[in-house]
Every structure is written in C-alpha cells, then in structure tokens.
Amino acid sequence: MTVPMISIIIPVYNGSNYLKDAIDSAIEQTYENKEIIVVNDGSTDHGQTEGICLAYGNKIRYFHKENGGVASALNLGIANMRGEYFTWLAHDDYFYKDALEKQILALRQCGDKTKIVHGNYDLLSVSSGAVTSVRQEYAYTVGQLTNSVFPIVIGTLHACALLIHKSHFAKVGLFDEKLPLTQDHDLMFRIFRGQQTVFLPEVLLCSRLHMESGKVTNTSFAQSCAELYYYFFRQLSLQEIQMMFSSPRASYHRIACIMKARADVPEVSEVLQYMSDLPNEEYGQQRNFLINHLREVSGRFSRRLCIFGAGFHGRILQHELASRDIHVECFCDNDPDKHNIMLAGLPCVSLAALEEDKQNWLVIIAVDAYAAIEEQLKKAGFPYVITKQSIDNLVLACPPHFFCDRF
C-alpha cells in the first residue's frame, strides 16, 4: 500500500467559536499526505468565520457557498477532494494528532484498502469540562462493532471517527441534502450495510457537547431521529437483523423504544406489531444473566435501582428494564425542574434524596457523557454505580417480555 492522500473536510456555519481548533488539529496530524478542505456554508457572522479561514492561506483549501445545510457543504467538499480517502471533521470537534496515521496503519494491517475504518472518541462537556472516553469495545464485541450497520443502529458510531475510501461514494451516493439533521447516519447506514468493517480501538478525536449544537437548538431533531430509525426498520431484512443481533425481538424493541422516546411517531405500532409476530425466544435464562450481573455489581445483593438521567437515554433504559420485569424505583437528575414530578411513570428525585439511603441503591447512569456524573456520585459516597453502556449488551441479548408503554 502506498501513502494515499486523505481529504479532511470541515463544513462550517457561523463557527468562529471553535473552528480554529478544528483546523489546527487537522494541520497538525502526524500523517503528512493530506489536504484540508473547509467549506463555509453561507455564514452570517459578519465575516468572522471567513476571516479565520483566510488567515490559513494555502494551508487549507477554502470554499464559500450559499447556505444549504451540512450535507450540501460536505458534498461540495467531496466533489472537490483530491484524496483517495475521505474523513469529516465537524468545526466544533478536533482530531488527536495521530488519528489519521492510526487509521491508515489499520488499513495496511487488514490488507484491503477499501475497508471502512472507524474508532473511538472522547466527549467533552463544555459546561463542566469533563471528558468521557467512549470505548465501544468495552460495551460490545469487536465482532459486533464490525458487523454491517450494528454500530449505527445501536448509536455508538461517531461520523467524524471514520476513514472512507472514495469508491464507496460511487456505490451508494453522497449525503442526502434533504436530511438537514440525520444526513450523517443516513449515509453511514448506506455505506456500512453488508460490509465487514475495521474497528480501531483507539480514541481518534474529541467531540464537544454544547448548547449551540444543532441537536440542541433545532426543534426538528427528535422527529428526524424517529424517522431515521423507522427507515432502518423498513430497510433491514429479518435475515440482516439476525446476523447482527442474538435476539431479533430485542433489536426491534430497541428501535421502537428509540422512535417512541424521540417523537412517539405512529409508526412505532408497526414496529411493535412486527416484533410481536416473530417467534418467541428464550427469555428466562437471558433475564437471569442480566439480573445476576446487576447483583454482582451491587455487592452480590439485590439493591434498589435508580436511573441517573431522566432524559432520552434514561427513558429508554427504564423502558427496556421494565419490559424485562426489572423494577426501577426512580429517576435522579441534576435538573431541579425535574425533581418531585413523575416522568415515564416514575418519580424523579434529587441527589440529596438518594443520599439518605445511598448504601442500598444501585445507580445506573444513563447519559452519553457520564464522566462528570460518575465523579459526582463518587464524591457523594455512592458505592454502587454503573453506566447504561456497561449493561447494554446483556439487555440486547434478552428478548423483552412485553412492551411497557410509559415514556
């Protein structure tokens, strides 16, 4: 394998807050044969974004276009890339210095230059400064993570932790410009489907979580995600699901949970009906595995269960456990507006209320960026704390007993 060129494409709209960090991280890559394409998607910040880009001179290739969304900016970058490989860097994220070098090395070792390489990432909470390392191989097997669209359906894939050979665009097309919020997972689904990919157990980039993100500010995001998962359901055959998941019923249940927790679209009933028509699966043994694990991490004692995080992931976890006859007593959340109210059929309490009996609680953190909460609970003296990620594979292996309609 020669030393192929990698095209790093950075789409940006009003990104003067973080753009310089992204460009600098691309320039400072230890892998030398690269080009950096920055596409300004019609920023309206009085030239601040453009000024940052122009200051780099010939270190980057700069394009300016009318505003058309992230997908259109990425497609413009792809149309102008000179590299053999594509990687995308969001303007508010940044690569670690050896990210590209590690990905190319993984390609050389696998012997197939067209393989898709994807890896781990850090999540940086801008509000707290805490960094959570998302190590996917701790929650799932490498066999699962490299099996077709498994990491996309489960939601562990980060679209900027990918290296994609340009030949894949010729096969499946580019980003869908009609999808302003889910264009990344739509394209990755099309590219990954039916492929045996290469998972790299290395942290490649840092992704910022902040209140200016489109996922937070755009009110259509939840609806778009629900529609995306309905698309997954309609596209994937039962045979494909069986090749990726040990329990097909659990996989369809997860899709229904995500759809309902996001937007409660009417198509949820279609997914559930399909799930209920499937043959019954072994329930008791897999449930026992899950129950025994929860006891093991609770000092071999049946503790009271609390889910920390009454948001999207918390509601899904509560629903998943209830559907397997595992009782959760309450939510806990740092948001005082959620305290002393019922959410998804459960009371939400403050951390102070939990502290009165902390020796008898098993607290399951149900957020993506869990590092700050983990530290908070540790300082508060809670002895039994785990994350939803640590039990997710056990949950997915256990078919649901019923569908508990409490969101």
The pLDDT-based confidence of 400 (bands split at 50, 70, 90) is: very high
Strand partners, 34: 6
Please give the pLDDT value at position 55.
98
The pLDDT-based confidence of 302 (bands split at 50, 70, 90) is: confident
SS3 state at 196: strand
Q: Is the pTM of this model over 0.85?
A: yes
> Are the C-beta atoms of 172 and 191 separated by less than 8 Å?
yes
Between CA 23 and CA 177, with CA 123 as vertex, the angle to 5 degrees is 60
For 99-135, give the secondary structure using H, E and C. Answer: HHHHHHHHHHHHCCCCCCEEEEEEEEECCCCCEEEEC
Instruction: State pLDDT tens for residues 157-212.
Output: 999 999 999 999 999 999 999 998 999 999 999 999 999 999 999 999 999 997 67
Instruction: State pLDDT tens for residues 338-369.
Output: 999 999 899 999 999 999 999 999 999 999 99
| Torsion sign (Cα): 337, 341, 347, 351 | positive
Distance (Å, rounded) from C-alpha 7 to C-alpha 169? Answer: 14
Other beta carbons within 10 angstroms of residue 356's beta carbon come to 9
Closest CA to 9 of 58, 60, 59: 60
Please give the pLDDT value at position 217.
60
The pLDDT-based confidence of 401 (bands split at 50, 70, 90) is: confident
Please give the pLDDT value at position 407.
46
> Are the C-beta atoms of 95 and 21 separated by less than 8 Å?
no
Does the structure show a pLDDT above 50 at 272? yes
H-helix segments, 28-81: 48-54, 70-80
Distance (Å, rounded) from C-alpha 40 to C-alpha 77? Answer: 10
